[in-house]
Amino acid sequence: MALCPAVRLPPPGTTPTRITLHEMHNRFSLTTLTFMKSIIEQNITKIVNKASVLGRLEQLTWAVLSANTTTAMALVFLQMASRASAATFSFSTGAPDGKIATLSTPASPGKVQTETADDFVVTQSVVISQATFTGLIPSGVPLSSISQVEIEMYHVFPLDTAFPLSGNVPTRTNSPADVEIDSATRDSVDGSLAFSATIVSSSFTASNSVVHGINKHPNERTNGEGAVTGEEVSITVQFNPPVSLPADHYFFRPEVLLTTGEFLWLSAPRPIVAPGTPFMGDLQSWIRNDALAPDWLRIGTDITGQGPFNAAFSLSGETDADGDGVPDSVDLCSDTLADAIVDANGCSIDQLAPCSGPASGGVWKNHGQYVSAVAQAAEAFVAEGLITAEQADEIVAHAAQSNCGTNK
- CA 48 to chain centroid: 16
237, 186 in Cβ contact below 8 A? yes
> Which of 336, 360, 376, 404 forms a contact with Ca ion (CB under 5 A)?
336
326: Cβ–Cβ under 8 A, 6 or more apart, which residues? 127, 320, 342, 344, 345, 346
CA angle 269, 160, 298 (to 5 degrees): 30
121, 285 in Cβ contact below 8 A? no
CB of 329 to Ca ion, least distance (A): 12
Is 254 or 346 the residue whose CB approaches Ca ion more closely? Answer: 346
CB of 326 to Ca ion, least distance (A): 6
Stretch binding Ca ion (CB under 5 A), from 95-103, 123-131, 194-202, 322-330: 322-330
Is 128 or 257 the residue whose CB approaches Ca ion more closely? Answer: 128
Q: How far apart are CA 232 and CA 198, in angstroms?
A: 9
Cis amide leading into 142 (omega within 30): no
Regarding 282 and contact with Ca ion (CB under 5 A), the answer is yes
Q: How far apart are CA 122 and CA 274, in angstroms?
A: 17
Cβ neighbours, 10 Å, residue 192 = 16
Is 224 or 325 the residue whose CB approaches Ca ion more closely? Answer: 325
Is 125 or 310 the residue whose CB approaches Ca ion more closely? Answer: 310
For the four alpha carbons of 166, 216, 263 and 270, in that order, the dihedral sign comes to: positive
> Which of 61, 168, 310, 319 forms a contact with Ca ion (CB under 5 A)?
310
The SS3 assignment for 221 reads coil
Regarding 324 and contact with Ca ion (CB under 5 A), the answer is yes
* Binders in 370-399 for Ca ion, by CB under 5 A: none
Q: How far apart are CA 79 and CA 98, in angstroms?
A: 47
Regarding 322 and contact with Ca ion (CB under 5 A), the answer is yes
CB of 82 to Ca ion, least distance (A): 11
* Binders in 111-130 for Ca ion, by CB under 5 A: 118-119
| Range 22-26 contact pairs with CB under 8 angstroms and sequence separation of 24 or more | 23/61, 24/57, 24/58, 24/61
> Which of 150, 331, 350, 379 forms a contact with Ca ion (CB under 5 A)?
331
CB of 251 to Ca ion, least distance (A): 8
Nearest residue to the partner Ca ion, using Cβ: 346
Instruction: Using CB under 5 A, count the residues that bind Ca ion.
Output: 11
Q: How far apart are CA 392 and CA 169, in angstroms?
A: 50
CB of 8 to Ca ion, least distance (A): 18
Is 322 or 379 the residue whose CB approaches Ca ion more closely? Answer: 322
Is 7 or 146 the residue whose CB approaches Ca ion more closely? Answer: 7
Regarding 92 and contact with Ca ion (CB under 5 A), the answer is no
Regarding 75 and contact with Ca ion (CB under 5 A), the answer is no
Regarding 333 and contact with Ca ion (CB under 5 A), the answer is yes
Q: How far apart are CA 32 and CA 29, in angstroms?
A: 5
* Binders in 344-373 for Ca ion, by CB under 5 A: 346
Q: How far apart are CA 113 and CA 212, in angstroms?
A: 10
> Binding residues for Ca ion, per CB under 5 A?
118-119, 282-283, 310, 322, 324, 331, 333, 336, 346
